[in-house]
Amino acid sequence: MQLQLSGNELDLLANILLAQEGEVLACARTQQGVPTQRRSGPDLQSYERLLEKVLARNMEFDSDELEQIADILTDQRNNLKQSISAEVGQAVRSQLQQNLERLESVLERIEEVCAML
């Protein structure tokens, strides 16, 4: 089974990967020279590789890459749910809810492909 995502869904995935890559990079910069435990989850190179594929609209992910994407989207979904519950403004809450619905749609398709592998 091949992963099929719309342009908007690919843009959403690219934005999430870009934000996560930025967080990993910022974390690495603040910890330069300080021995720390490795952060669990994908490293900077993994985010870059995934982002390059998404930007090139190349949906030929291997099983490890699909699992990494599923984990990233699951974390993002949890963060969005927390943001929605904490948000007091209706307009912002509505926008976050729309983002959550799109994210869950993408995550569902990725999980289906993972289950087929």
Cα distances from 33 to residues 4, 19, 36, 44, in angstroms, run: 42, 24, 9, 17
**For 39-65, what is the mean pLDDT?**
86
pLDDT average, residue stretch 88-98: 92
Domains located in the chain, CATH noted: 7-116 (1.20.120)
What's the pLDDT at 33? 54
Q: Is residue 55 scored above 50 in pLDDT?
A: yes
**Is the model's pLDDT at 35 over the cut of 50?**
no
In the prediction, which pLDDT does 37 show? Answer: 46
Instruction: Specify the pLDDT at position 17.
Output: 94
